Each structure stands twice: as C-alpha cells, then as structure tokens.
C-alpha cells in the first residue's frame, strides 16, 4: 500500500507505532508526555509565542472575528479561536477518518486541552514559561524512554506525521486497550508488533556479532 494509503490505515499505523513503543516504561512515559506535548503546543500557539522551533506553529491571537458570526457560534470565543483550536480541528478530522468511534471518544479530551490552553493564557502571565518548560522536559523524557528503556529510535526520526500527528491518538488507544477496548484489534495489532520487534532485535544482535567478528 502507498504511503498516502497507509496514512488512513488504522491497523498499519497502530502496528508501526506499537513496534516503537513496546517497552512498558517507555509506554508510560509517552502516556504522560505526549498529551503534555500536544497541550503545550496548543498552549504556545494560543499565547503567540515566538518559539516556533519547538512547536508546530505560532499565533498572535484569534484568527477569526467571532463577533461577526451568528449567535449560535459565539461559543468559539472560548477557544480564541486561535491556531491551537484549528490544529485540534485538523487532528480530530483526521482521527475521524482513521477510526470514527474512537475519534468521537477522544474529541472531548482534544478540545478540552485546546480550551484550557487558551484559558490559561488569558489568566496566567507566566503561561509561556510554563508551556515552554513542560514542552522541553516532555521531549527529553521521551527520548530517554526510547534510548534507555526501549533501546529503539523514536518514530520521529523517519515519520514526522506519525510522531507529531498520530501520537496523541495512539496514546489514547494505549489507555483504552488496557481497559479492554477492541480486544480483537489489539490482539491482531500485537501479533504484528511482536513480529516487528523480534525482527528488529534479531537484526541488532546480528550487527553486534558482525562488529565483533
């Protein structure tokens, strides 16, 4: 299947993600840090920060004049609506194409993070510093998780879309799977993940032996 086709293949994407996040310690680190990274990225978008190298974009305030819209759309003021909100819309639409039911379950979490990012900006003068600090620490912890616990490079190094767009959704899947969600999908996914991990470890051992020879 083509790269574009795989972008909308839920099982394939879960397998690729799972193969790089199979160690329990690394999984826990990502369950904690991935939502923080997404939130602080939304956070800094909402705050108009100039640290664009650390987040997916920057913004200086509302991108839409809500006052000109009908009364039933005035709730958008709660979200700015800034770039963080529109990023959440993009993410949720993509997730709907991947898996509608799970995307709907995740939507309150996604938009809740977007709302709180904007709210905290409006009420806390130290919002930028808080967001930047949490963002940096979370990335560092994730790289430690991959290097020390997983001993396998993060998917960030060869698939930016999965690392930056799909990771929040797949962390949500990790949590749901532990609660018994979609056991058939989880079982099928783990069969493929275990094959990939076994092949990776075998290749790594072969490389070690060839270096010693």
Residues 87-121 have pLDDT tens digits of 888 899 999 999 999 999 999 999 988 888 878 77
Residue 73: what are its φ and ψ, rounded to 5°?
Answer: -110, 5
In a domain, 18, yes or no: no
In a domain, 48, yes or no: yes
Query: Which residue has better confidence, 43 or 54?
Result: 43
- Give the pTM: 0.85
Predicted pLDDT at 45: 54
Predicted pLDDT at 59: 45
Mean of pLDDT values over 74-80:
83
Mean of pLDDT values over 47-67:
52
pLDDT band at 49 (very low <50, low <70, confident <90, very high): very low
Q: How is residue 18 written in tokens?
A: 């799972």
- Alpha-helical runs (H) found in 99-144: 100-123, 127-144
In a domain, 175, yes or no: no
In a domain, 107, yes or no: yes
Three-state secondary-structure class, residue 154: coil
Q: 19-28, 118-127, 180-189: which range is least confident on average?
A: 118-127
CA separation, residue 127 to residues 50, 97, 111, 168 (Å): 13, 33, 18, 22
> Cβ(146)–Cβ(33) under 8 Å?
no
Tell me the C-alpha distance between 86 and 167, whole Å.
Answer: 18
In a domain, 100, yes or no: yes
Q: How is residue 108 written in tokens?
A: 């309150």
Domain extent, residue 105, equals 23-169
> Cβ(180)–Cβ(8) under 8 Å?
no
Mean of pLDDT values over 7-35:
94
In a domain, 174, yes or no: no
Element holding 5 (H helix, E strand): helix 3-6
Q: How is residue 36 written in tokens?
A: 């923080």
The total of structural domains in the chain comes to 1
CA dihedral 98, 104, 106, 110 (to 10 degrees): 100
In a domain, 49, yes or no: yes
Instruction: Write the DSSP symbol of residue 55.
Output: S
């Amino acid at each position: 299947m083509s790269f574009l086709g795989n972008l909308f293949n839920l099982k394939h994407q879960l397998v690729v993600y799972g193969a790089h996040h199979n160690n329990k310690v690394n999984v826990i680190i990502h369950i904690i840090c991935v939502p923080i990274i997404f939130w602080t990225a939304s956070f800094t978008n909402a705050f108009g920060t100039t640290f664009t190298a650390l987040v997916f974009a920057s913004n200086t305030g509302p991108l839409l004049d809500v006052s000109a819209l009908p009364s039933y759309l005035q709730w958008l003021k709660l979200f700015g609506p800034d770039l963080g909100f529109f990023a959440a819309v993009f993410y949720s639409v993509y997730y709907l194409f991947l898996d509608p039911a799970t995307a709907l379950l995740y939507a309150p979490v996604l938009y809740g993070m977007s709302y709180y990012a904007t709210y905290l900006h409006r009420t806390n003068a130290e919002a930028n510093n808080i967001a930047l600090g949490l963002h940096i620490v979370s990335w560092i912890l994730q790289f430690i998780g991959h290097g020390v616990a997983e001993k396998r490079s993060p998917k960030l190094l060869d698939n930016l879309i999965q690392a930056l767009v799909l990771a929040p959704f797949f962390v949500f899947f990790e949590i749901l799977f532990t609660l018994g969600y979609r056991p058939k999908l989880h079982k099928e996914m783990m069969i493929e993940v275990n094959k990939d991990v076994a092949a990776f470890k075998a290749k790594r051992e072969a490389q070690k032996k060839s270096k010693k020879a």
